[in-house]
Chains A and B, each alone.
Chain A
C-alpha cells in the first residue's frame, strides 16, 4: 500500500499553524506532565523490576531462573502461547473474512461478540470455564465419565488464554479487510484461481503486516495473562503455573529475587514486543492505520 494518498497518513510536523501552537511555557508544562507521568508509572517500575531481579547479583539471578519450578512455568507459558496464538490466527482470520467479505444476518452481533473479551473482566472469563467444566459444572459429569481433564490442567489454561486473546487478531484484520473490499479477490477468481489460491496468493499477502501486528499483541497478552488463567489453573507448582502465576507465588513467599527474575523475563518480552510493534508501525503504518481501533 504505497499509494500516494495513503502516504499522507504520516504526521506532518511542519504543518502546525501558528494559531494552534501553544506558547513555549505551556508546551513545556504539557510535555513535562506527560513525561513525569510516564516516568513514575511506567519507567520507574520497569527499572525496579530489573534492579530487584539483579539485587543479589547475576549469579543469583541465573540461579533463580534455573529453578525447576521456574523452568516449568516458562515452558508452560511458551506451550500455552504456542497453542493459543495459532488457534487465534485461524479464528481471527475466519471471523475477519466472514465479517469483511460477506453479508449475513447477525453480523453486528458477531462483531460485538468478538469484542466481549475486552469488555469482560478476565476473572469472569475464567469463572465461566469453571462453571462449564468444573466438577459441579454443566459438562463436569460428562467430562469426568469420559476421563477428560480440562480444569486445573493445560487444556483449561489454553482455553482461558484463547478466550482472553480472541479479539487481537480479529480486531486487527476486520477494518483492514473491510477497507480493501473484495476487488482483489474477484480479480483472482476471474483469472481462474480457486478459493484457496485466492486466499493464499491474494488475501493473505494483502493483510500480512496487519496480521503480524495482531499476532504480536496476541502473543504478548497470551504470555502475560493473569486473571483468567489464575482462576482455571489451580496453581499446581511445576504443573499448571504459568510465568505470571509463578511470579505471584514467589513473591508471596518473600522470594523477591526469584519473583523479579521471572518478572524481568516478562518485562523483557514486553520491551521486545514494543520494539517490534514500533518497527512494524514505522514500516507498514499505512496498512495498520486502518486497524487502530483499540
Chain B
C-alpha cells in the first residue's frame, strides 16, 4: 500500500508541531523517520495512523483519501513505544485481540483466532509462549508480541514508534536484523520512528530526516550520509566538523589564505565549510591547506580525534588521525578535506 502525505500541517493548541510536510512512501518500502526529539517524527507517524487528525493537508492510502477516516477504518498496525500490551491478557489473547473485536462475519471463529496467534508467534520466534502474561516476558519478547499483535489484523501499513527505544544495545541490534527479515518476508509497507541514526541508516530503505516540524531530507543511507543537503543533516548524521570561511573569486578562504578548495559555483561572501573529520588528506607542507595547532587529542576506538586551533581567531575544528600519527600537543597539523560542502553562513 502506497502512503502519500500531502502538505500536512499539525498544530497542538496553536503551537505547530508539523509545518507543511509532504512525503511519498512507496508500497512495500521500509522507511525511517529520523530526527531529534521535538522534530515532529512521532506526530507524523500518529497522523498516518489516524491517532491524530491533521490541521491542514491530506493523507492518502493508495488513491484513497484517508484523512477523515478513523484509526479503525484505516486498518494500520501500530506498535507503540512501550508496547501497550494488555497486561491482563495472555500473549495469545493479546495477539488475537484485533480479530476478536471484529463484528459479524468478519470475525473468525475462536479456534481460527487461536491458530492465527500461534502462527504469528512462530513468525516472531516465540512459539510456546501463548499462555504467558506480558509481565512474564523480557523487553525484547514484549516487543515481538507487540509486532505480532499489530500484524494479526493484516494491516495495510505497519507503523512502529521507537520500536527499539526501550531495549538494551545487544537486544536492539538483534531485533533490528530480525525486523528487516520479517519485513522482507511479509512485504508490509513499514514506517518506523527513531532518534538513533545508526538504526535508521542500517535498517531502512529510505530515511526521512526531520527537524523542527519539517522534513530536511529524504534519501537512502548513502544519499543522506554522502550528500547532506542542509547544515542540519550534515551535523545530525554522522560526525561533522565545521569552519567559518569566505568565498572569493571561486575559491574558499580562511582569513587571508586560500585553502586549496575550488568553489566556482559559490557566491562570494561568508560561508560555512562542512566536512567529515575522517574524510581528510593530511599534508606535509602547507600551500593551500588548513593548518592548525593541536589543542586536544583523545583516543576513540581505532582512531585518534584531534582538536585543532585554526588561525588567529583560534577556531576549533575536529579531525581524525591514525592512532600512530606523531601529532602530539602543540605540534602543527596541516590537512585538506577530501569531501566537503559549503553552506551560506
User: Which of B84-92, B195-203, B319-327 lies at the interface?
Assistant: B84-92
With a cutoff of 8 Å between Cβ atoms, the chain A residues found around residue B85 in the complex are 187
Main secondary structure of the interface of B (DSSP, over half): loop
Interface hub of A187, A189, A190, A201 (most chain B Cβ within 10 A):
A190
With a cutoff of 8 Å between Cβ atoms, the chain A residues found around residue B98 in the complex are 191-193
Complex: A81 Cα to B273 Cα, angstroms: 77
User: Which of B69-77, B111-119, B165-173, B217-225 lies at the interface?
Assistant: B69-77
With a cutoff of 8 Å between Cβ atoms, the chain B residues found around residue A2 in the complex are 87, 133, 135
A190 touching B77, Cβ below 8 Å: yes
Interface mask (B135-167 → A, CB under 8 Å = 1, otherwise 0)? 100000000000001101100000000000000
Interface flag for B340 (CB, 8 Å): no
A206 touching B80, Cβ below 8 Å: no
Question: With A191-B149, A194-B72 in contact, is A186–B80 under 8 Å at CB?
Answer: yes
CB of B144, distance to nearest CB on chain A (Å): 15
With a cutoff of 8 Å between Cβ atoms, the chain B residues found around residue A193 in the complex are 72, 97-98, 101
With a cutoff of 8 Å between Cβ atoms, the chain A residues found around residue B150 in the complex are 190-191
Interface flag for B314 (CB, 8 Å): no
A187 touching B78, Cβ below 8 Å: yes
Interface flag for B51 (CB, 8 Å): yes
Kindly report which residue of chain A lies nearest to residue B102, judged by CB atoms. Answer: A192
Interface flag for A184 (CB, 8 Å): yes
B84 touching A186, Cβ below 8 Å: yes
B97 touching A201, Cβ below 8 Å: yes
Question: With A184-B86, A206-B88 in contact, is A194–B76 under 8 Å at CB?
Answer: no
A187 touching B84, Cβ below 8 Å: yes
Complex: A39 Cα to B254 Cα, angstroms: 87
B80 touching A183, Cβ below 8 Å: yes
A191 touching B84, Cβ below 8 Å: no
Complex: A183 Cα to B84 Cα, angstroms: 6
**Residues A189-205 near B (CB distance < 8 A):** 189-194, 197, 201-202, 205
Interface flag for B82 (CB, 8 Å): yes
CB of B209, distance to nearest CB on chain A (Å): 26
With a cutoff of 8 Å between Cβ atoms, the chain B residues found around residue A206 in the complex are 87-88
Interface flag for B306 (CB, 8 Å): no
With a cutoff of 8 Å between Cβ atoms, the chain B residues found around residue A202 in the complex are 86
Interface hub of A186, A188, A189, A191 (most chain B Cβ within 10 A):
A191
A188 touching B71, Cβ below 8 Å: no
A201 touching B101, Cβ below 8 Å: yes
With a cutoff of 8 Å between Cβ atoms, the chain A residues found around residue B78 in the complex are 186-187, 190
Chain A residues at the B interface, C-beta cutoff of 8 Å: 1-3, 183-184, 186-194, 197, 201-202, 205-206
- Given A3-B135, A192-B98, A193-B98; 15 other pairs, CB 8 A cutoff: A2-B87, A183-B80, A183-B82, A184-B86, A186-B78, A186-B84, A187-B84, A189-B51, A190-B49, A190-B71, A192-B102, A193-B72, A201-B97, A202-B86, A206-B87
